[in-house]
């Protein structure tokens, strides 16, 4: 059987590899929110997690498989080591999906074999072949990854790939696990596989890579030119260490330069057909959602989705863009879903008009989520004369986050000034429903608020990052606060949006503390296996 695709498949691993970056841990409901948006974005495969890693991961994979993995939805995938128990857990979690995939892996580089696995090449070859066959007994769609393939001996790599394809693998993924490879080298690896693995036409070649040298996207594009037809990437490029290849950069590179890439896919150079199944208009919204839920801010100069990506300060550039956008813009901002539209809703607008506008923006909310967002909308409408679509996005993203609802901010009051000692009084509702109030003095109003909150919650932590962003221009703009705090070796993030930046700061801090508090509550449970990197 020959496995072919006339498009580049997008394999999103935001919920698995992306979640491995410090502080980006997501709960089940947050994962489901992102998975739904990834389906709207049009990704072909969602790697929903590592089912064997923990009961929470298993439940997340199963829930996404059930709700997002519909007949017309994306393939839902679970990672599994080349171990029977992992594969069985993945198969069980994926049962609700209309289209499921087990992604199993084992290292093939000599350095990993010697120091990590402590196994011979013959042992690894046998394990890889046997475990792919075992995964195949559960479902037809099986992906195999030779971990650290970029540093593996090519001849041994060819041998493993041929054996695993013969055992039933339908996708062969080539990972640059440590972000070491350069574009020409990666292209040569893919070319070598095409030329030296006899049964390679029975599988799709995929690539996975990290951005330690800033080369992940370039590596992937070179791999496409040499025959790769699946790209494993994450939203905003989040992930272990320096992150993964960025989905939005790959998709837009293939879109903007499709005339260049068309011949490599056997198409006429002038073809205007998209090279992926991605709805590019959902890119910006997806980026914002992932940033808000993970607490991982997008740098302003980030390609495609950074706040400066379509901004022009140079006078020469401004003049050119005013005359014709093509002079200094290679793509239209609206192509990724970025607009400057202002809504006509105000404080007298009804729930139906509010719901209709959110649908136009791509938000599908449950009744409870809509009610919460509508209350916030009314609060903001009382304070702002004009509400932009970006204000609406901030309101909705803030309200649909499902951080553990343990401590809740009931009151924040500060006193500060040039000749005054910043003082804050806060009232929190505890998980038991009790209201506790405390006050503290700090170096500034936010510091005072955080000290007062710490006195109430009484959980040791270290604040390691505090960031404020204005959603829109103007003195009445909504401010988004993202914070990251550390407890022992773990990092927890919090996010909140409000027209009052002090209130947003308090809510973001409590959001992060709730995640920490919830983690401490489950700390006594049996330890789960750590998700290994691919």
Distance between CA atoms of 38 and 64, rounded to whole angstroms? 11
Strand partners, 147: 107
Which value, in Å, is the radius of gyration of the alpha carbons in the chain? 25
Question: Both tokens of residue 282?
Answer: 């959902």
264 SS3 class = helix
Strand partners, 493: 484
Closest CA to 249 of 291, 224, 212, 220: 220
Is the pLDDT confidence value at 460 over 70?
yes
The confidence score (pLDDT) of residue 527 equals: 45
Helix, strand, coil content of the chain in percent (nearest 5): 45, 20, 35
Q: Average pLDDT, stretch 366-387?
A: 78
The confidence score (pLDDT) of residue 102 equals: 98
Q: Which has the higher per-residue pLDDT, 61 or 285? A: 61
Distance between CA atoms of 396 and 410, rounded to whole angstroms? 20
CATH number of 9-294: 3.20.20.70
Closest CA to 219 of 200, 246, 239: 246
The confidence score (pLDDT) of residue 321 equals: 42
% of the chain at pLDDT higher than 70 = 87
The confidence score (pLDDT) of residue 189 equals: 97
Q: Which has the higher per-residue pLDDT, 116 or 345? A: 116
Q: What is the pLDDT of residues 24-39, one digit of tens each?
A: 778 888 899 999 999 9
Q: Average pLDDT, stretch 91-117?
A: 95
Q: Which has the higher per-residue pLDDT, 476 or 143? A: 143
Whether 408-521 and 9-294 are alike in CATH topology: the answer is no
Residue 418's Cβ-side half-sphere holds a number of Cα atoms within 13 Å equal to 0
Which pTM was predicted?
Answer: 0.81
The confidence score (pLDDT) of residue 316 equals: 47
CB 209 within 8 A of CB 181: yes
> Where along the chain do its domains lie?
9-294, 408-521
Q: Which has the higher per-residue pLDDT, 131 or 398? A: 131
The confidence score (pLDDT) of residue 35 equals: 96
pLDDT grade, residue 20 (50/70/90)? confident
The confidence score (pLDDT) of residue 318 equals: 44
Please provide the DSSP assignment of 490-532 as one string.
EEEEEEEEESSHHHHHHHHHHHHHHHHHHHHHTTTSPPPPPPP
The confidence score (pLDDT) of residue 381 equals: 77
pLDDT grade, residue 10 (50/70/90)? very high
Distance between CA atoms of 379 and 369, rounded to whole angstroms? 16
Q: Burial-class residue 368 by CB neighbours within 10 Å (0-12, 13-18, 19+).
A: exposed
Place of tokens 């027209």: 499
Domain 408-521, CATH number (from 3.30.70.2190, 3.30.160.270, 3.20.20.10, 2.60.410.10): 3.30.160.270
Is the pLDDT confidence value at 491 over 90?
no
Distance between CA atoms of 159 and 121, rounded to whole angstroms? 10
The confidence score (pLDDT) of residue 4 equals: 58
């Amino acid at each position: 059987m020959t496995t072919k695709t006339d498009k580049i498949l997008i394999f999103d691993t935001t919920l698995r590899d992306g979640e491995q970056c410090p502080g980006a841990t997501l709960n089940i409901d947050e994962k489901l929110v992102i998975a739904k948006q990834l389906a709207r974005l049009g990704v072909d495969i969602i790697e929903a997690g590592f089912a064997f890693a923990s009961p929470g991961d298993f439940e997340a994979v199963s829930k996404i498989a059930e709700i997002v993995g519909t007949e017309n939805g994306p393939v839902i995938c679970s990672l599994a080591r080349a171990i029977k128990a992992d594969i069985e857990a993945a198969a069980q979690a994926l049962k609700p999906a209309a289209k499921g995939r087990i992604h199993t892996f084992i290292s093939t580089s000599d350095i990993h074999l010697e120091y990590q696995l402590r196994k011979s090449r013959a042992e690894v070859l046998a394990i890889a072949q046997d475990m792919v066959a075992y995964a195949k007994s559960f479902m037809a769609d099986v992906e195999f990854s030779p971990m650290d393939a970029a540093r593996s001996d090519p001849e041994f790599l060819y041998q493993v790939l041929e054996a695993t394809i013969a055992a039933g693998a339908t996708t062969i993924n080539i990972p640059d696990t440590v972000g070491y490879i350069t574009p020409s080298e990666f292209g040569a690896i893919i070319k070598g596989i095409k030329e030296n693995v006899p049964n390679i036409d029975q599988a799709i070649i995929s690539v996975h890579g990290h951005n330690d040298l800033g080369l992940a996207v370039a590596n992937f594009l070179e791999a496409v030119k040499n025959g790769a037809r699946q790209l494993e990437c994450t939203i905003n490029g989040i992930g272990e260490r320096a992150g993964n290849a960025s989905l939005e950069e790959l998709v837009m590179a293939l879109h903007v330069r499709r005339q260049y890439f068309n011949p490599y896919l056997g198409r006429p150079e002038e073809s205007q057909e998209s090279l992926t199944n991605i709805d590019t208009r959902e890119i910006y919204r997806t980026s914002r959602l992932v940033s808000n839920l993970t607490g991982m801010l997008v740098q302003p100069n980030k390609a495609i989705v950074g706040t400066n990506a379509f901004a022009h300060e140079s006078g020469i550039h401004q003049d050119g863009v005013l005359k014709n956008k093509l002079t200094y813009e290679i793509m239209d901002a609206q192509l990724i879903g970025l607009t400057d539209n202002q809504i006509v809703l105000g404080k007298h607008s009804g729930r139906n008009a509010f719901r209709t506008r959110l649908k136009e923006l791509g938000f599908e909310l449950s009744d409870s989520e809509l009610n919460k967002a509508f209350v916030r909308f009314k609060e903001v409408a009382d304070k702002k004369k004009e509400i932009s679509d970006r204000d609406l996005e901030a309101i909705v993203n803030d309200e649909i986050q499902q951080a553990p609802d343990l401590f809740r901010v009931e009151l924040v009051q500060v006193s500060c000034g040039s000749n005054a000692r910043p003082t804050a009084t806060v009232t929190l509702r505890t998980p038991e429903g009790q209201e506790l109030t405390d006050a503290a003095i700090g170096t500034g109003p936010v510091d005072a608020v955080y000290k007062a909150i710490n006195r109430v919650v009484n959980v040791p932590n270290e604040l390691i990052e505090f960031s404020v962003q204005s959603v829109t221009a103007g003195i009445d703009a909504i401010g988004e606060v993202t914070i990251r705090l550390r407890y022992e070796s773990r990092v927890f993030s919090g996010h909140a949006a409000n027209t009052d930046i002090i209130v947003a700061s308090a809510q973001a801090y409590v959001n992060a503390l709730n995640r920490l508090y919830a983690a401490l509550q489950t700390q006594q449970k049996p330890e789960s296996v750590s998700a290994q990197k691919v």
